[in-house]
Amino acid sequence: MRVAVASGKGGTGKTMVSASLTAVWDGPVTAVDLDVEEPNLHLFLHPIVEETRTAHLEVPVVDETRCTYCRECAELCQYKAIAVLGEVVMTFPEMCHGCGGCFAVCPENAISAGSRPLGEVVRGKAGTAGFWMGRLRVGEAMSPPLMREVLRDLDAAAPEGDVIIDAPPGVSCPAVSAVIESDVIVLVTEPTPFGTFDLRLAYKAFLPLNKPMGVVVNRSGLGDEEVYRFCKESGLPILCEIPFERSIAEVYAEGQIVSVQLPEIQPLFRKLRRAVHALARTGKEAAHA
Ligand code: SF4
Ligand code: SF4
């Protein structure tokens, strides 16, 4: 099973939930930090790094001795990463998404593959759990290609057991890329107007993916009831509520795992684990109905 822990809004406690859920998971599990712009799951899981590799994106390099300036590549590229001006071909590697389209359409085979470094793919062990992380290169704007590299390496390694993904916050391309291959989406929110607003956005963005979704209300007791009303109206099950307590904030601020350090809170994450399993079963049943 692949569980994506996501949130429409940053700062709701998504990484706290990912780390705590990993720590109480039953059976083999791998934690994956796909928040590649600002990965921080490692600060809580303290993995021993076993391998780090630089991931690259294939970008076009044009051999102008073969080019006939037909413009087919420039007309195809939706990202304006390649342009033909008279008898000059210009490429803009930092704007290339690596789709490979220009390579395929060039009738003269004038385009070969160069590369642009995207960032690092890190693999390791956090206690008994596997650990993977992407870390975007400073100055690199596009995170989905690096996220795909992390998931490709993970799939190639085929670790035993389940996978818990700490997804990037928000509802744009990186967030969708992180949850699209998951079996279950756990949306972490807080009972505030901002939390509810962004939960609505996340729900709308992920609904077309047709995956079972459930909600973790973090800092419950902090704000208003609107988030509960929205979940009820939308049929979103509340999997777990984590109270608004100073001890949780303190443990988190110290870089420790809440479900490990606070025995009184641990049952909530065990309950969340059971709820996630149950949610996954509903998804399987729906798929076979
Ligand atoms: S690989 Fe795709 S995105 Fe990059 S320049 Fe070619 S067509 Fe554009
Ligand atoms: S498609 Fe090939 S031949 Fe045509 S302009 Fe682009 S690089 Fe040159």
Per-residue model confidence as pLDDT tens digits over 78-133: 999 999 999 999 999 999 999 999 999 999 999 999 999 999 999 999 999 999 99
pLDDT digits (tens, 9 = 90+) for 141-159: 889 999 999 999 999 999 9
Task: Give yes or no for residue 289 having a pLDDT over 80.
Answer: no
String of DSSP letters for 141-155? ---HHHHHHHHHHHH
Tell me which residue has its CA closest to atom 2 in ligand 2: 106
DSSP state letter for 127: T
| Res 77: pLDDT | 97
Which residues does ligand 2 sit against, CB inside 6 Å? 62, 67-73, 84, 89, 105-106, 108, 110-111
pTM (two decimals): 0.90
Which domains does the chain show, CATH number per domain? 2-55+120-288 (3.40.50.300), 57-117 (3.30.70.20)
Task: Report the pLDDT value the prediction gives residue 10, as an integer from 0 to 100.
Answer: 79
Give the Å distance between the CA of 92 and the centre of ligand 2: 15
> In 7-109, where do the E strands start and end?
29-33, 48-62, 82-85, 88-91
∠ CA 31-32-38, nearest 5°, is 125
Report the separation in Å between the CA atom of 166 and the middle of ligand 1, taken as the mean of its atom positions. Answer: 29
Q: Which atom of ligand 2 is nearest to the CA of 60?
A: 7
Strands 129-136 and 111-126: antiparallel
Pocket of ligand 1 (CB under 6 A): 60, 76-77, 79, 81-82, 96-102
- Per-residue pLDDT at 283 exceeds 90: no
* pLDDT tens-digit series, residues 189-230: 999 999 999 999 999 999 999 999 999 999 998 888 999 999
Closest CA to 184 of 216, 154, 159, 156: 216
